[in-house]
Structure 1
Amino acid sequence: MRLGRRPHDKLALARAPSHRFGIAPPPPVLDRGDVAFMPELYSNDIIPDCTAAALANAARGIAALNGFGLVVDQACVPAFYGACAGHPPDLAATDGVVMLDVLQRQASLGFDIGTQCLFGLFGTLDVRSRSALAHGIARLGAGYWGVTLLERDMQRAAVWDVQDGRDDGEIAGGHAVIAWDYTSLSDDGTVRLGTWGCWQRATWAWIAARLDEAHGVCWRQLERADGTFYDRLTADGLVAEITASQCPAPEVRHTL
């Protein structure tokens, strides 16, 4: 399996749009086991296009929450990755792209998925705040997360976890995943991550050790016919949260 998330620019990330969720706590448990959705691979076994694959899976997941299927042409995801990478002749020989560049490109030029072109407003999340990360999954539908994997993570254990005194090996590289739901907000609670065309459980303790950046995307094109999202949310409301965060305001943190 390939990776493909290049290191982010901390200054650029700090200047990017952010997302604030107010003072309400996130759901203590988020179970989406009854939602008919599975992440797809999108050639991430041979091409380091995890950033594009995760973006496509995030959009499909949000559509599934809204009650409909989103068709993403299999060839469009590597093509979008190639555009983000500067149209190299051999995608398999590339070393990935920066997640923020991917987000900015889809926001300005769109993400052509074959059936339509998606344009999403995005906001970054505080990776140090478990509350913000949980809100990002629950309210925005899916977290678009960037992690650093170590050699042991590449062995795909049933649950990605960290243990005191265990040698997890050298850094394997950066990877992009989606965060879908979680069993609790405790350190040993697990988050269901979508990667390489399947689900991978990871503890919040592992996430605290591996997570480098987190984002959420709101696509107005994915709202229901009545203008609503899942859980009585609206695109206008989600966009307003991101837009409001651009105005000077004290940061609200909810670290659990």
Structure 2
Amino acid sequence: MRPAFRASVQAPQTSILSPHLRVATYNIHKGVRGVGSRKRLEIHNLGLGVEALDADLVFLQEVRHFHHREAKHFERTWFGWPEQGQAEFLAPEGYEVAYRTNAVTKHGEHGNALLSRWPIGDIGHHDVSDHRFEQRGLLHVPVQWQGHRVHAVVAHLGLMHASRVRQVQRLAEFIAAHVPPNELLVIAGDFNDWGEKLDAPMREQGLARAQSPSGSGRQATFPSRLPFFSLDRIYTRGLRCVATQVPRGTSWARMSDHLPLVAELELI
């Protein structure tokens, strides 16, 4: 049983036979909010939130595989720390799960995950750490969607602009080496691009940012309580965006410091 959660998400335009691929990206902040005595476990609410997104592909960042100290801290709470890794715990029924670790710490580890309604292939991981203080990686998962292979790449880039520029270059090298040029590609995650400077180098790699065709409305996702920055992004190749949404409301604002970004995509 999970705690009550009221989600405010538009009805999906996708179904198993729909021409649209519905994708979401969400930095879940390791399933915990607050500090000290005000620290609270949000992973159970996040499970309901992920399910409410009803996305074909969910790109997750800051996902705990395990953390001994947090598990002990929350062991006497009503719901408690999940026995599974967070990626498996958050996956709606019937979804396949891919997870790879980016960072190993004293008490545990965390990384990126992909939850997929569609069958997945071999899971790949590429280290793009720019310095020893930030461990970063790309999670690469091929997905079979309605007779097409979609290469899903979950990204979480660094906190410094120079690092992000170098990581985009490494991303380009990874794509050239591992993604055939005629196959579909979706790259999503937390790009930490406060100054909106990465769209140009991503376009140079043939990647278009998923934005509403009308151009109306900002895709601000951070901070969740008063979103101003568009840190969470979806970039595509071979697909066009027909709609975007950032779910908002009190429930979404309390679960993570980021809001999710959802996009409806179709073949070009």
**The TM-score by the shorter chain falls in which range?**
under 0.3
Write 1 or 2 for the structure with the bigger share of strand: 2
Higher relative contact order (CA 8 A, sep 6+): 1
TM-score (norm 2): 0.25
